[in-house]
Amino acid sequence: MTTTTGRPASTPVRPPVRALAPHPDRLLPADTGLRDLARSIYQQVSGAPIYSPHGHVDAAVLAENRPFGNPAELLITPDHYVTRLIHAYGVGLDQLGVNTPDADPREIWRLFCSHWHVFAGTVVRYWFESELSEVFGLTVQPSAETADDLYDQLSEQLARPDFRPRELFDRFNIAVLATTDDPASDLSAHQLLAADPDFTGTAVPTFRADRYMTPNVPGWKGFLEELAAAADIDTGSYAGLVEALRNRRAYFKQNGGTATDSGTADAYAIPLPDAEAERIHRAALGGSVAPDEVVAYRRNLLYQLAAMSAEDGLVMQLHADVVRNYDQASFAAYGPDTGHDLPGPATFTAGLRQVLNDFGRSDTFRIVLFTTDETSFSQQIAPLAGFYPSVYVGAPWWFIDTPAAISRFRAAATDSAGFGKTSGFIDDTRAYCSIPARHDMSRRLDAGFLAGLVATHQLGEDEAYEIAGDLAGSVPVNTFRLEKYVRS
Amino acid sequence: MTTTTGRPASTPVRPPVRALAPHPDRLLPADTGLRDLARSIYQQVSGAPIYSPHGHVDAAVLAENRPFGNPAELLITPDHYVTRLIHAYGVGLDQLGVNTPDADPREIWRLFCSHWHVFAGTVVRYWFESELSEVFGLTVQPSAETADDLYDQLSEQLARPDFRPRELFDRFNIAVLATTDDPASDLSAHQLLAADPDFTGTAVPTFRADRYMTPNVPGWKGFLEELAAAADIDTGSYAGLVEALRNRRAYFKQNGGTATDSGTADAYAIPLPDAEAERIHRAALGGSVAPDEVVAYRRNLLYQLAAMSAEDGLVMQLHADVVRNYDQASFAAYGPDTGHDLPGPATFTAGLRQVLNDFGRSDTFRIVLFTTDETSFSQQIAPLAGFYPSVYVGAPWWFIDTPAAISRFRAAATDSAGFGKTSGFIDDTRAYCSIPARHDMSRRLDAGFLAGLVATHQLGEDEAYEIAGDLAGSVPVNTFRLEKYVRS
Amino acid sequence: MTTTTGRPASTPVRPPVRALAPHPDRLLPADTGLRDLARSIYQQVSGAPIYSPHGHVDAAVLAENRPFGNPAELLITPDHYVTRLIHAYGVGLDQLGVNTPDADPREIWRLFCSHWHVFAGTVVRYWFESELSEVFGLTVQPSAETADDLYDQLSEQLARPDFRPRELFDRFNIAVLATTDDPASDLSAHQLLAADPDFTGTAVPTFRADRYMTPNVPGWKGFLEELAAAADIDTGSYAGLVEALRNRRAYFKQNGGTATDSGTADAYAIPLPDAEAERIHRAALGGSVAPDEVVAYRRNLLYQLAAMSAEDGLVMQLHADVVRNYDQASFAAYGPDTGHDLPGPATFTAGLRQVLNDFGRSDTFRIVLFTTDETSFSQQIAPLAGFYPSVYVGAPWWFIDTPAAISRFRAAATDSAGFGKTSGFIDDTRAYCSIPARHDMSRRLDAGFLAGLVATHQLGEDEAYEIAGDLAGSVPVNTFRLEKYVRS
Measured in degrees and rounded to the nearest 5, phi and psi for residue B318 equal -125, 115
Please state the rounded mean pLDDT for residues A362-367. Answer: 97
Verify whether the Cβ–Cβ distance B356 to C9 is below 8 Å: no
CB-based contact, A10 to chain C, within 8 Å: yes
pLDDT the model gives residue B2: 52
CB-based contact, B463 to chain A, within 8 Å: no
In chain A, whose CA is at the least distance from the CA of B128? A458
Asked if residue B250 lies in contact with residue B312, where contact means CB atoms within 8 angstroms, the answer is yes
Question: CA of A488, closest CA in chain B: separation in Å?
Answer: 10
- Counted across chains B and C, CB pairs separated by less than 8 A come out at 163
Query: Quick one: which H or E segment has residue A343?
Result: strand A342-343
Verify whether the Cβ–Cβ distance C379 to A343 is below 8 Å: yes
Beta strand C50-52 with B391-393 is unpaired
Q: Round to the nearest angstrom and report the end-to-end CA distance of chain B.
A: 55
In chain B, whose CA is at the least distance from the CA of C11? B466
Give the confidence band of B391 by pLDDT, cuts at 50, 70, 90.
very high
Verify whether the Cβ–Cβ distance A88 to C417 is below 8 Å: yes
Check pLDDT > 80 for residue B465.
Answer: yes
CA-based torsion, A429, A433, A435, A440: positive or negative: negative
Verify whether the Cβ–Cβ distance A387 to B122 is below 8 Å: no
The per-residue pLDDT for range C382-428, each reduced to its tens digit, is 999 999 999 999 999 999 999 999 999 999 999 989 999 999 999 99
Residues near A342 by beta carbon (within 8 Å), at least 6 away in sequence = A322, A323, A326, C349, C380, C383, C384, C387
Check pLDDT > 60 for residue B375.
Answer: yes
Which ranges in B27-158 belong to alpha helices (H)?
Answer: 32-45, 59-64, 71, 80-87, 105-114, 123-134, 147-158
Residues of C in contact with A340 (CB under 8 A): 387
The per-residue pLDDT for range C242-279, each reduced to its tens digit, is 999 999 999 999 999 999 999 999 999 999 999 999 99
Question: CA of A364, closest CA in chain C: separation in Å?
Answer: 33
Q: What is the mean pLDDT of chain A?
A: 96
Verify whether the Cβ–Cβ distance B477 to C345 is below 8 Å: no
The per-residue pLDDT for range C303-332, each reduced to its tens digit, is 999 999 999 999 999 999 999 999 999 999
Neighbours of chain C (3+ CB pairs under 8 A): A, B
C-alpha A301/C-alpha A294 separation (Å) is 11
Picking from C387, C416, C456, the nearest residue to A122 by CB comes out as C416
Amino acid sitting at position C448? G
Picking from C387, C418, C457, the nearest residue to A25 by CB comes out as C457
Verify whether the Cβ–Cβ distance A361 to B329 is below 8 Å: yes
Which of C410, C414, C328, C316 has the alpha carbon at shortest distance from C370? C316
The per-residue pLDDT for range B208-219, each reduced to its tens digit, is 999 999 999 999
Neighbours of chain A (3+ CB pairs under 8 A): B, C
Asked if residue A211 lies in contact with residue A182, where contact means CB atoms within 8 angstroms, the answer is yes
pLDDT the model gives residue A13: 47
Neighbours of chain B (3+ CB pairs under 8 A): A, C
In chain C, whose CA is at the least distance from the CA of A125? C458
C-alpha C120/C-alpha C143 separation (Å) is 12
Which ranges in A88-216 belong to alpha helices (H)?
Answer: 105-114, 123-130, 147-158, 165-171, 188-195
The per-residue pLDDT for range C117-163, each reduced to its tens digit, is 999 999 999 999 999 999 999 999 999 999 999 999 999 999 999 99
Which of B244, B205, B203, B247 has the alpha carbon at shortest distance from B224? B244
Q: What is residue C379's three-state secondary structure?
A: helix
Residues near A161 by beta carbon (within 8 Å), at least 6 away in sequence = A67, A167
CB-based contact, C472 to chain A, within 8 Å: no
The per-residue pLDDT for range A144-187, each reduced to its tens digit, is 999 999 999 999 999 999 999 999 999 999 999 999 999 999 99
Give the confidence band of A369 by pLDDT, cuts at 50, 70, 90.
very high
pLDDT the model gives residue A11: 45
DSSP C58-71: -HHHHHH-PPP--H
Q: Round to the nearest angstrom and report the end-to-end CA distance of chain C.
A: 55
Measured in degrees and rounded to the nearest 5, phi and psi for residue A52 equal -120, 85
Asked if residue C205 lies in contact with residue C61, where contact means CB atoms within 8 angstroms, the answer is no
Amino acid sitting at position A335? G
Question: CA of B17, closest CA in chain A: separation in Å?
Answer: 12
C-alpha B442/C-alpha B425 separation (Å) is 7
The per-residue pLDDT for range A186-240, each reduced to its tens digit, is 999 999 999 999 998 999 999 999 999 999 999 999 999 999 999 999 999 999 9
Integer CA distances (angstroms), A317 to A210, A258, A309, A429, B398, in order: 12, 11, 10, 15, 27
Picking from C31, C415, C466, the nearest residue to A121 by CB comes out as C415
In chain B, whose CA is at the least distance from the CA of A351? B326
Which ranges in C6-50 belong to alpha helices (H)?
Answer: 32-45
In chain A, whose CA is at the least distance from the CA of C361? A90
**ipTM field:** 0.96
Question: What is the b/e burial string over A217-245, where b = at least 16 CB atoms within 10 angstroms of the residue's CB?
Answer: eeebeebbebbbebbebebebbebbbebb
CB-based contact, A420 to chain B, within 8 Å: yes
Check pLDDT > 80 for residue A7.
Answer: no
Give the confidence band of B184 by pLDDT, cuts at 50, 70, 90.
very high
DSSP C302-320: HHHHHHHHHHH-PEEEEEE
DSSP A38-82: HHHHHHHHTTSPEEE-S----HHHHHH-PPP--HIIIIITT-HHH
Verify whether the Cβ–Cβ distance A387 to B339 is below 8 Å: yes
Window 114-153 of C, Cβ < 8 Å to B: 117-123, 125-126
Check pLDDT > 90 for residue A467.
Answer: yes
pLDDT the model gives residue B14: 54
Residues of C in contact with A345 (CB under 8 A): 379
Window 353-372 of B, Cβ < 8 Å to C: 353, 356-357, 360-361, 363
Picking from C7, C27, C30, the nearest residue to B470 by CB comes out as C7
- Counted across chains A and B, CB pairs separated by less than 8 A come out at 162
Picking from C353, C420, C452, the nearest residue to A118 by CB comes out as C420
Q: Where do the DSSP E strands lie in C288-427?
A: 315-320, 322-323, 342-343, 367-370, 391-393
Which of A417, A451, A343 has the alpha carbon at shortest distance from A33? A451
Residues of A in contact with B119 (CB under 8 A): 418
The per-residue pLDDT for range A412-447, each reduced to its tens digit, is 999 989 999 999 999 999 899 999 999 999 999 999
The per-residue pLDDT for range B45-81, each reduced to its tens digit, is 999 999 999 999 999 999 999 999 999 999 999 999 9
CB-based contact, C13 to chain B, within 8 Å: no
Return the bridge partners of B52, or none.
B177
Window 368-407 of A, Cβ < 8 Å to B: 375, 378-380, 382-389, 391
Verify whether the Cβ–Cβ distance B327 to A385 is below 8 Å: no
C-alpha B331/C-alpha B354 separation (Å) is 34
Verify whether the Cβ–Cβ distance B420 to C118 is below 8 Å: yes
Verify whether the Cβ–Cβ distance C474 to A330 is below 8 Å: no
Beta strand C315-320 with B322-323 is unpaired
Residues of A in contact with C412 (CB under 8 A): 404-405
Lowest-confidence segment of A16-20, A402-406, B340-344 by average pLDDT: A16-20
Q: What is the mean pLDDT of chain C?
A: 96
Instruction: For each of the domains in chain B, give its residue range(s) and CATH number, in order of start.
Output: 69-162 (1.10.2020.10), 173-485 (3.20.20.140)
Verify whether the Cβ–Cβ distance B327 to A356 is below 8 Å: yes
Check pLDDT > 60 for residue C1.
Answer: no
In chain B, whose CA is at the least distance from the CA of A383? B342
CB-based contact, C39 to chain B, within 8 Å: no
Residues of B in contact with A460 (CB under 8 A): 18
- Return the residue in C1, C2, C5 with the most chain B beta carbons within 10 A, the one to mutate for interface testing: C5
pLDDT the model gives residue C3: 64
Which of A250, A249, A242, A251 has the alpha carbon at shortest distance from A272? A242
Verify whether the Cβ–Cβ distance B120 to A385 is below 8 Å: no
C-alpha A85/C-alpha A123 separation (Å) is 12
Verify whether the Cβ–Cβ distance A121 to C456 is below 8 Å: no
Residue B407 CA to chain centroid, in angstroms?
A: 18
Verify whether the Cβ–Cβ distance C404 to B421 is below 8 Å: no
C-alpha C229/C-alpha C225 separation (Å) is 6
The per-residue pLDDT for range A104-115, each reduced to its tens digit, is 999 999 999 999
Residues of A in contact with C466 (CB under 8 A): 3-4, 11, 14
Beta strand A342-343 with A322-323 is antiparallel
Give the confidence band of A16 by pLDDT, cuts at 50, 70, 90.
low
Which ranges in C55-179 belong to alpha helices (H)?
Answer: 59-64, 71, 80-87, 105-114, 123-134, 147-158, 165-171
Q: Round to the nearest angstrom and report the end-to-end CA distance of chain A.
A: 55
C-alpha B297/C-alpha B299 separation (Å) is 6
The per-residue pLDDT for range C326-372, each reduced to its tens digit, is 999 999 999 999 999 999 999 999 999 999 999 999 999 999 999 99
Residues of A in contact with B376 (CB under 8 A): none
Measured in degrees and rounded to the nearest 5, phi and psi for residue C449 equal -65, -45
Residues of B in contact with A34 (CB under 8 A): 30
Residues of C in contact with B411 (CB under 8 A): 404, 408
CA-based torsion, C317, C322, C327, C329: positive or negative: positive
